[in-house]
Amino acid sequence: MNAEINQRQLRLIGWAFQACGILSLVASAIAYHYVVSGLITHQQLANADETKRLTALLESAGDVRRRHQELTEELAELEQRAEMIRQRIPDQPHEGEFLKQMTEAATARGLTIRSYNRGNVTVADTHSQLEVRLTG
């Protein structure tokens, strides 16, 4: 009889272990499902946000291209104007010629230049600047 009781207890313990194993397997499957579905949902939301951002960029692409073209044309015009101004600046100072042109301009307006005084000279990368004081 003792063997029969032991046999029953062993079967009962075996069923208990199997039930615990099945419960832990089901609990693990449920936990895995929620973790994986949570990660997938999070990734889907991130992808939706990125899609909205990229769609907005695509919709504004025409405006960006047009603005880029406008700015490129404006830059080319400014560079051309800067080059024209650089070409107008003489390589060497021609004070005599400058004073002659000023005297002619003053005379044409009915003014007379009596004297001039040379001031400070400022040297820059692209030009030099000479300060002149006139008495008229």
Task: Give per-residue pLDDT as tens, 61-78.
Answer: 888 899 999 999 999 999
Closest alpha carbon to 136 in 109, 5, 55, 85:
109
| Average pLDDT of the residues in 51-67 | 91
Residue pair 94/116 in contact by the 8 Å Cβ criterion:
no
Residue 49 pLDDT exceeds 90 = yes
Mean pLDDT of the chain: 86
Residue 128, by phi and psi: left (phi above 0), alpha (psi -120 to 50) or beta?
beta
Least confident among 10-24, 75-89, 110-124: 110-124
In the chain, where the domains are located: 1-88, 92-136
Q: At what angle do helices 61-88 and 2-59 cross, to 10 degrees?
A: 50
Residue 82 in tokens: 């800067």
Query: What band does 102 get if pLDDT is binned at 50, 70 and 90?
Result: confident
Percent of the chain with pLDDT over 70: 96
Contact status, residue 124 vs residue 89, Cβ threshold 8 Å? no
pLDDT at 93: 66
Torsion of CA 34, 37, 42, 47, to 10 degrees: 180
The residue to which tokens 């397997």 are assigned: 25
SS3 50: helix
CA 76, CA 95: separation in Å to the nearest integer?
33
